[in-house]
Structure 1
């Protein structure tokens, strides 16, 4: 017996809470991937990043309602198409935000932070005006409902498995794009030495704009994944922004491997600790542990060597 539970019960609890942590890990990783690309290359502290997740979530909701009302026979298939639409919509909004606002604030981190924080408040008010203050949820396809029970004591939700699959696919695409494509080569060159990249003919402004838009698009996919495990409200994205920055800083800016490791560590710690403690205490203990580690290793789990 431990904490009042038998070892068999503890095993089942750890498995189920661990899987619950994997669902949180999936959303955090998708959010952090986009933020790591933006922050790592451009040094932009995007406080509105959570709102791009909300854009993706509301996109799923709107497409769900349109499909349900006008194309009910397509309900079993709409979700995959809606995920792509969520990326495209968040990507497009991010592209114009970079062009209209962010590009004027490079090398001014405090101004960027304040401007994107103001942008997040404006976007939240737009969501509230368009969709109302109440939380909404899309109608999910039947194949996303139910659970898988590998043992009589363990139930694993099907939607959680699907979210993990989305995360694996998107993470693989992002890594391949960064290391096996011309765009990724330009991004890495700009990150390593912006002046030299410009000198050899790379349009660094265009690279910045595309990078910011891609990061926002990945956040839109995070919003799509989020709709399978929770309802969406105007402030849904803001509840994840602190944890997302924590993931990026703890993993090491511009390090995709660090982002993955950090998201997994934080999500699992929070999921397991909040079961045995209150939700607030679980997060406090996790945060204190991260602070201690960062004091010993300020560059994060995986540092990235960047030429200034």
Structure 2
């Protein structure tokens, strides 16, 4: 497999695929952060998480069209407005879904799986009816075009760098919320001992609703980032939901560090193997590796110590 390439070519291939893996890692992190918060705290298996991401992507697409048609002079800054709107739209939809459906299904993980899977089908058909079945894309601003040459053979796309910086920023914000804010203390208290948290005056239902909204909002931001590296269609979210669950389970539910480490490991492995093997074979080998690790360590790479 490697004999057909010189050592210099192999180094360039690994560098290019490593950066491509970092771009995939960025999307995985943004998707998995929201899912880890929801699954880790509430035990809800949200199969519609990918559709919340696609909602953010479509909001970004609409904002892009609005800026290009009405205020083209400000088109270079449309993404920041789109990202805020995507977060708000996905978070508000998440609050509505939690109030209408999820709150009635707590402690019933299989029921939440079926219910959210049905919700994902409803959202997919809604997107298909509103935006059409064909994939749509956005035109990137001029400052996101081009690439930085690292060596004669390796170039780094600017939009990929931007997505990585965005993922790093969102991760730091989530870490600050979880470990440096009053709301984060309440979330961790509910995770560790829900009855005792309620007994000391924490409104666990409100915490659940806000947590679900935050997780969905982060998925909306992931959708905005997704438009920078791919086109958007009604079923695009399903391409990432399995990998995202894999990241969360492999890293350890409710572990922020585990989510980041797992996303990095899986994205780098897939990106490198996809160059030398087919995409499906790369996924199979990655899955076998993760399953093997989970058989030895079922709690994932990092586990949260909680009182039972």
Task: Give your verdict on TM over 0.5.
Answer: yes
Tell me the equivalent position of 2:179.
179
| Deviation by residue 1:78-108 (Cα, 9 ceiling, x = unmatched) | 1111111111111111011101110011011
Distance in structure 1 (CA, Å) of the matches to 2:88 and 2:109: 27
Tell me the equivalent position of 2:98.
98
Distance in structure 2 (CA, Å) of the matches to 1:212 and 1:109: 15
Tell me the equivalent position of 2:71.
71
Offset, 1:139: 1.7
1:31 paired with 2:38, answer no
Contact 1:136 1:232 in 2 (8 A): yes
Distance in structure 1 (CA, Å) of the matches to 2:240 and 2:76: 29
Tell me the equivalent position of 1:118.
118
Distance in structure 1 (CA, Å) of the matches to 2:18 and 2:302: 24
Tell me the equivalent position of 2:60.
60
Offset, 1:3: 2.9
Distance in structure 2 (CA, Å) of the matches to 1:74 and 1:58: 20
Offset, 1:290: 0.7
Offset, 1:247: 0.2
1:254 paired with 2:260, answer no
Tell me the equivalent position of 2:140.
140
Tell me the equivalent position of 1:216.
216
Tell me the equivalent position of 2:270.
270
Distance in structure 2 (CA, Å) of the matches to 1:33 and 1:116: 18
What does 1:136-215 align with in structure 2 at a 5 Å threshold? 136-215=136-215
Tell me the equivalent position of 2:228.
228
Q: Secondary structure at the match of 1:125?
A: helix
Distance in structure 2 (CA, Å) of the matches to 1:81 and 1:62: 11
| Deviation by residue 1:263-305 (Cα, 9 ceiling, x = unmatched) | 0000000000010000100111111111111111111100111
Distance in structure 2 (CA, Å) of the matches to 1:307 and 1:101: 28
Structure 1: unaligned runs, 5 residues or longer: none
| Deviation by residue 1:64-86 (Cα, 9 ceiling, x = unmatched) | 00111111111011111111111
Offset, 1:186: 0.5
Tell me the equivalent position of 2:300.
300
Contact 1:25 1:268 in 2 (8 A): yes
Distance in structure 2 (CA, Å) of the matches to 1:84 and 1:139: 18
The 4+ residue runs of structure 1 with deviation greater than 4 A are none
Distance in structure 1 (CA, Å) of the matches to 2:270 and 2:291: 15
Contact 1:86 1:224 in 2 (8 A): yes
Q: TM-score, normalised by structure 2?
A: 0.99
Q: TM-score, normalised by structure 1?
A: 0.99
Q: Secondary structure at the match of 2:76?
A: coil
Contact 1:36 1:259 in 2 (8 A): yes
Q: Secondary structure at the match of 1:10?
A: helix
Offset, 1:10: 0.4
**How many equivalent pairs are there?**
308
Offset, 1:2: 3.3
Q: Secondary structure at the match of 1:151?
A: coil
Q: Secondary structure at the match of 2:150?
A: strand
Deviates more, 1:166-175 or 1:78-87: 78-87
Structure 2: unaligned runs, 5 residues or longer: none
Distance in structure 1 (CA, Å) of the matches to 2:166 and 2:180: 20
